[in-house]
């Protein structure tokens, strides 16, 4: 699993925060993701306003829709 944030998210501090929030959100879901999956998460500017719990709920819903959860 890879997490990235482009310059559209902001400066280095904002990009690093966005990646930290995404990594924190994905931690709880790691055990539920199907094995042998390569996943790339790309941060968008709105993530700077979100909490990791909100991001976790969104990621869980997206993973369900993509059938990536066990």
Can you give the pTM of this predicted structure? 0.86
How far apart CA 40 and CA 19 sit, in angstroms, is: 12
- Give the list of residues 6+ apart from residue 47 with CB closer than 8 angstroms, or none: 5, 9, 18, 21, 22, 55
Placement of tokens 């990621």 in the chain: 59
For the CA atoms of 57, 38, 34, 26, what is the dihedral angle to 10 degrees?
A: -30
Mean pLDDT of 52-62: 93
Percent share of the chain, pLDDT over 90: 81
Angle value at C-alpha 29, between 69 and 19, nearest 5 degrees: 120
């Amino acid at each position: 699993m890879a997490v990235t944030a482009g310059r559209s998210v902001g400066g280095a501090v904002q990009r690093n925060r966005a990646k930290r929030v995404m990594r924190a959100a994905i931690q709880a879901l790691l055990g539920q993701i199907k094995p042998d999956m390569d996943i790339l998460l790309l941060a968008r500017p709105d993530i700077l306003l979100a909490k990791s719990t909100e991001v976790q709920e969104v990621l869980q819903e997206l993973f369900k829709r993509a059938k990536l959860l066990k």
